[in-house]
Amino acid sequence: MKQNLVLLLFAICRLMSTVGLTVEPAELLQLGLEGQLSLDRYDVGRASVDFGGMTRAEPMAVMRPASAGDVVSLVRAAYGSAQGFPVSARGHGHSINGQAQAPGGVVIEMSQYGRAVGPRERSRPVYSQSLEEYYVDVWGGELWIDILNWTLENGGLAPKSWTDYLYLSVGGTLSNAGISGQAFHHGPQISNVYELDVVTGKGEILTCSKEQNSELFYGVLGGLGQFGIITRARIALEPAPRRVRWIRVLYSNFTTFTRDQEHLISLHTAHRSERFDYVEGFVIVDEGLINNWRSSFFSPRNPVKISSIGSNGGVLYCLEMTKNHDESAASLLDQEVEALLKKLEFVPASVFMTDLPYADFLDRVHKGELKLRAKGMWDVPHPWLNLFVPGSRIADFDRGVFRTILGNKTSGPILIYPMNKHKWDERSSVVTPDEEVFYVVAFLRSALPDSDESTQSLEYLSDQNERILAFCDEAGIEVKQYLPHHVTRAEWARHFGAKWGRFLKLKAQFDPECILGLGQGIFLPASSPCSPYELSMSRK
């Protein structure tokens, strides 16, 4: 360990000569970490890139913490040094635009997949009399797939709210929101956490909840890692169903499609027998995509073709729903599903159903990942664009984007589904459209560098993203980016809107030296004369 610290010190001295940072040697030599600091080129290289594959920023070193104490020690050293150095928490590396990078600083590998000190001991689920619910305390770097497996094995329980892809870290999704088709009913993942342990930018570890240090609690939820690093989260659990009835139906009329989606999410207060448990949808403008990695529901031996269904203008819309159940109630399930489907106006004869274990449904996207990895098509650039669109303007978005800008090639799935705003706590840092119903529209594209088709190039897809954003701006559609990426201070201020002032206040309170989350691009180090944060503070 001491040898690693000495090597780290040498690296910092080299950095000082190039960027002028001043780090006091004693601070690093006295850290006394239980985990590891690595200068290995492979580790540094891995922490320099992310799933987006569009940016590269090398840290000085990578730390694999053995405990929250290691995180505290590192952040305190950065905060207490003459000018500080960037520190960033990295889960499983699934950011898109370098949000978890720490150029010239230290990346903390929070996921156990980056650990070198063995598996972390997990807490067992607990039943709370006061909450009248189960919960489990988990490490901030734990992946949701591992939490699912653990809670299923220990009491047949599962978290309530999910993301579509489970190989993401708890701290990562809670720093954004964590959304999927259950959000209309349970709310996003940030609405299903009771308590956090957070290491602030001052190196203080604080326990926070709705009642204790509430300002930090709500600030960190959706706070893009700007105020602290989540080292522990108390996650709400529920008894897990055994199986899932997975249903997909197709639409050629967008108005009917969105009307049916909004009807289904309006049933969130209904008895479980009278509603679905999950509601999502996606847009199909490319015939090949109806059976793609995200849409592997349909059998390759019986593929669905757009030409076989009366699509309007070459665009189809797919609505997918699930109903949780136990095998003992199969006949009753059929009646409940039939009753719900009778109220929808999808294309006749387009109903597809399958039945599978609950855990298999939740982990469905990973199966597609394995297929793409086998073909060498997973580690490519991913110029994703995720938007929250006001429900009142979704038809305008359809006409201007799905039917005009996209053409007939999308290079990946396009998700679209509505959510209920009242399921989101406005005290969190997340910003959503100012309407009760708003839509998630996610362009999950992959750029293929070796493709002969220009429509699959990174340049083309990135330009198309800009055209989509420009269209929304010109049409007055007040979208908000999810997993946001902005360049200027004015863009960030516009993004946060009425929450911007509070955001600045929390940054000054919990990370005054701008050590944390620099990869997001919201703030520069406080020592920088052009720091957006410093400029805003100077005007107060």
Annotated active-site positions, please?
A: 94, 164, 280
CB 503 within 8 A of CB 226: yes
**What's the chain's Rg over C-alpha atoms?**
23
CB 51 within 8 A of CB 447: no
Helices within 154-286 (DSSP H only): 170-174, 183-186, 214-220, 254-265
- The CA distance from 318 to 273, in Å, is 23
Cβ neighbours of residue 478 closer than 8 Å, sequence gap 6 or more: 390, 393, 433, 434, 472
- The CA distance from 538 to 521, in Å, is 19
Q: Which two tokens stand for residue 350?
A: 């387009």
Q: Are strands 87-90 and 106-109 parallel, antiparallel or unpaired?
A: parallel
What separation in angstroms does the CA of 469 have from each of 21, 229, 383?
A: 37, 31, 14
CB 479 within 8 A of CB 391: no
Q: Are strands 228-239 and 193-200 parallel, antiparallel or unpaired?
A: antiparallel
What separation in angstroms does the CA of 74 have from each of 69, 180, 250, 334?
A: 9, 34, 52, 56
Count of beta carbons in the 10 Å neighbourhood of residue 409:
17
- The CA distance from 246 to 297, in Å, is 9
- The CA distance from 511 to 81, in Å, is 14
DSSP codes of every residue in 477-523: ---EEES----SHHHHHHHHGGGHHHHHHHHHHH-TT--B-GGGSS-
Residues 59-95, buried b or exposed e (16+ Cβ, 10 A)? bbbbbbbbebbbbbbbbbbbbebebbbbbbbbbbbbb
Q: Which element (helix H / strand E) includes 529? A: none
